[in-house]
Structure 1
Amino acid sequence: MTATDTATVITVVFHSEFHYARTLEEVDALVRRIVEDPPRPVCAVYVWDRPCRGHFEPGGPAFPTGRLRVSTSPATGWGALNYVDRDRPDGALVDSFNPDAGPATPVLPLDTNGIDFPASASLPLEKVREAIAEYCRTGARPTCVQWQLGEWY
């Protein structure tokens, strides 16, 4: 599935700021924004057949069952991922996993409420970029990174 051969819409939400992508060029630009210049350190990425809607939009909130949450820190070169989709067989709540994480691996925020990823979820930004792009193409949990059980939705 790609944004050009289906009616797929990528929605990225930075807090309450919604961004949409429908073409490959728009998806590439949105992935770059998440990794290189995010307006907030944490966002949620949705792949659906229509744009997601927020609480204050006509018709109320509308989101698919799957989500990739992304935390990036361009200044440090690290990011982390959280995936869940209760409608898919591989949809268990998981965080990215870095088997090489050590004492110097940074801890990144999982959300804006003070909950953090474990340091073992932190990955180099290029790996995070690759995973986001894969998710946008497939709508499924990225296979280019390893995963561990997650604690927080």
Structure 2
Amino acid sequence: MTATDTTTVITVVFNADFYYARSAADVAGLVRMIVEEPPGRVCTVYAWDRPCLSFREAGGPAYPTGRLRVSTSPATGWGAINYWDHGTPDGRVVDSFNPDGDEQAPVLPLDTDGADFPASAALPLDQVREAIAEYCRTGVRPTCVQWQPGKWT
């Protein structure tokens, strides 16, 4: 599955706002939005064979088994990622891991309900961008970053 296939749809959800991309150019635009000008501090990214639907839409809600949750802070240059796919054999939830984590990394929200990522999950935004782009291309957990056990929210 790749973002250039017409059968793959990338859905990005910020709060209750849904953004969709089918072409490589549209995916690049969504990745840029998440990293450079996010409309919120946390979003969820899905790669699926159709658009995800909210509970407000006919036939919704509809989501795939896996997702990438992303928190970015363009002002500080940091971000963090949470990945989960309950359709995989181990179904593990993992957070990004920065073995060279900087004590100056900001607190990044894991969700909009007050849970935060551990400081060790903070990555420079270039790494976050690369991981989101990889997920959009493959639909599976990115291999370009390291991972640590995470928590479900």
Shift of 1:88: 2.1
Match of 1:43 in 2: 43
Match of 1:95 in 2: 95
The separation in 1 between residues aligned to 2:90 and 2:132, in whole angstroms, is 17
Match of 2:12 in 1: 12
Matched-pair identity in %: 71
CA RMSD of aligned residues (A): 1.1
Of 67-76 and 95-104, deviating more is 95-104
CA gap 1:105/1:2 in 2 versus in 1, 3 angstroms? same
Q: Contact 2:6 / 2:22 at 8 angstroms: preserved in 1?
A: no
Shift of 1:5: 2.6
CA gap 1:74/1:90 in 2 versus in 1, 3 angstroms? farther
Q: Deviations over 1:22-60 (max 9, x none)?
A: 000000000000000000010000000000000111012
CA gap 1:23/1:60 in 2 versus in 1, 3 angstroms? same
Q: Deviations over 1:62-121 (max 9, x none)?
A: 000100000000000000000000112464100000001142222200011111000000
The separation in 2 between residues aligned to 1:33 and 1:96, in whole angstroms, is 20
Q: TM-score, normalised by structure 2?
A: 0.96
Tell me the matched-pair count. Answer: 153
The separation in 1 between residues aligned to 2:29 and 2:45, in whole angstroms, is 14
Match of 2:132 in 1: 132
